[in-house]
Amino acid sequence: MTHRDGTRVVRAGQPDAEQGTPFLPGPVFAGPFHLKGDVASADWVYTRYGNPTWARYEAALAELEDGEVVLFASGMAAAAALLLTSLRPGSALAIDKDCYLNVRRLARTHLEPRGVDVRLAGPAELAAAVDGADLLWLESPSNPKLEVYDVAALAEAARAAGALTVVDNTTAGPLYQKPLDLGADFTLTSATKHLSGHSDLILGYLATRDSERAAALRDWRRDAGAVPGPFEAWLCHRSLPTLGVRLERGSANALAVAELLAARDDVSGVRYPGLPADPGHAVARRQMIGFGTIVAFDLGSRARAERFLARAELVTEASSFGGVLTTAERRLRWGADDVPEGFVRLSAGCEETADLVADIEQALAV
Ligand SMILES: Cc1ncc(COP(=O)(O)O)c(C=O)c1O
């Protein structure tokens, strides 16, 4: 019998029930493994080459992605693996200019000087930028502006131009958007966010349906040493069964917050793909399964954004997103995104909706 994702995620990657064994075996902490004779005679030889705890978590994610999964030490380690195995001097990269700031920085500071043509393009120019490119990099919904890109149309344009497509799916995750089904060649997820959900680790992965490409990424991981720790992999697997319920609560909270903000005339630029009035809503409805937990808005000035963050009791001022606590930050404090001074990115957590909305209302009152 086939099950829906919300059911599959609860058991994904867990071994068959055997008398007296745990549901999810604990992490295998090892650098070297016992290894007599031929290297090929053992599944596990040295943890930089592979580790059974990663393999179990990769198998769980593979069930959700319907592709091969390669786990990395962080989302950025996954991004670096893909960029550095796909691009060479003379290659061209078409990249969403609103994508995550460290991906842009990696491209500008490490690829451009090595002779890669890095073409940063906005939503309207991305399809044209792909002409003659080797790789199209997009993020949808983007962090932090929540721009929604038509993944199927862009992946098709990339294929026609002879380019591969990677979608950074971190804001949606594997339950709420399936870039490989939409035609992307790779999907990248920072598991640091919703997948972990508890703000206690850094991890990332790439998924693809092409076995040769997956093998090349595994080789890169081994040779570059961009390997996850077994404990992080296990912890993240331990958090996986609750991903669906955490997302349901977080998304309901995000919608309620977005509706509250959109109805106020002292808040502007509210972005949430689940709002019918959002510019990305029609495309998001087509390509997303859920609209996610992140809301972006402009409080008009740095001072008001800082006042809001200081007054809110249930909105913790913090970096990152996707955890069980509602968090937010004034994004321009990082100095690298094209957003106004009062722009706030909020990640809705698992609090009671009425409490969260009431708290946000009181924090906006001054
Ligand atoms: C959209 C997006 N992609 C990639 C990353 C990088 O992930 P990590 O911090 O796990 O390296 C982040 C981190 O914030 C992100 O927001």
Nearest CA to ligand 1 atom 7: 75
Nearest CA to ligand 1 atom 9: 75
| The token pair that represents 147 in the structure block | 């721009």
* CA–centroid distance, residue 332 to ligand 1 (Å): 17
Pocket test for ligand 1, best of 72, 82, 100 (most atoms within 8 A of CB): 100
Instruction: Give the dihedral of Cα atoms 108, 144, 236, 288; nearest 10 deg.
Output: -110
* CA–centroid distance, residue 77 to ligand 1 (Å): 10
Return the active site residues: 48, 100, 168, 193
Contacts of 213 (CB under 8 A, 6+ apart): 185, 186
| The token pair that represents 80 in the structure block | 């670096």
Residue 211, pLDDT score: 98
Nearest CA to ligand 1 atom 15: 100
Per-residue pLDDT reduced to its tens digit, 120-134: 999 899 999 999 999
Distance CA 4, CA 19 (A): 27
CB atoms under 10 Å from CB of 115, counted, come to 11
Residue 329 burial (C-beta neighbours within 10 Å; 0-12, 13-18, 19+): buried
**164-168: strand order across its sheet:** 68-72, 204-208, 186-190, 164-168, 135-139, 92-96, 117-121
Distance CA 58, CA 205 (A): 9
* Closest ligand 1 atom to Cα of 77: 11
Distance CA 154, CA 184 (A): 9
What is the pLDDT averaged over residues 348-364? 98
Per-residue pLDDT reduced to its tens digit, 143-179: 999 999 999 999 999 999 999 999 999 999 999 999 9
* CA–centroid distance, residue 19 to ligand 1 (Å): 40
Q: How confident is the model at residue 359 (pLDDT cuts 50, 70, 90)?
A: very high
Distance CA 85, CA 153 (A): 25
Share of the chain above pLDDT 90, in %: 98
Nearest CA to ligand 1 atom 10: 75
> Is the pLDDT reported for residue 366 higher than 80?
no
Residue 227, pLDDT score: 98
- 3 state SS of 264: coil
> Is the pLDDT reported for residue 354 higher than 90?
yes
* Closest ligand 1 atom to Cα of 139: 1
Nearest CA to ligand 1 atom 6: 75
* Closest ligand 1 atom to Cα of 192: 10
Residue 292, pLDDT score: 98
| The token pair that represents 126 in the structure block | 């991305």
Per-residue pLDDT reduced to its tens digit, 203-231: 999 999 999 999 999 999 999 999 999 99
* CA–centroid distance, residue 22 to ligand 1 (Å): 32
* Closest ligand 1 atom to Cα of 171: 1
> Is the pLDDT reported for residue 1 higher than 90?
no
Can the peptide bond before residue 241 be classed as cis, meaning omega within 30 degrees of 0? no
Q: How confident is the model at residue 351 (pLDDT cuts 50, 70, 90)?
A: very high
- 3 state SS of 167: strand
CB under 6 Å to ligand 1: residues? Answer: 74-76, 100, 139, 143, 168, 170-171, 190, 192, 202, 204, 320
> Is the pLDDT reported for residue 72 higher than 90?
yes
* CA–centroid distance, residue 190 to ligand 1 (Å): 5
pTM as predicted? 0.97
Distance CA 170, CA 322 (A): 9
Per-residue pLDDT reduced to its tens digit, 293-307: 999 999 999 999 999
Residue 257, pLDDT score: 98
Q: How confident is the model at residue 36 (pLDDT cuts 50, 70, 90)?
A: very high
Residue 76, pLDDT score: 98
Mean pLDDT across the chain? 97
> Is the pLDDT reported for residue 78 higher than 90?
yes
Distance CA 312, CA 348 (A): 13
* Closest ligand 1 atom to Cα of 76: 11
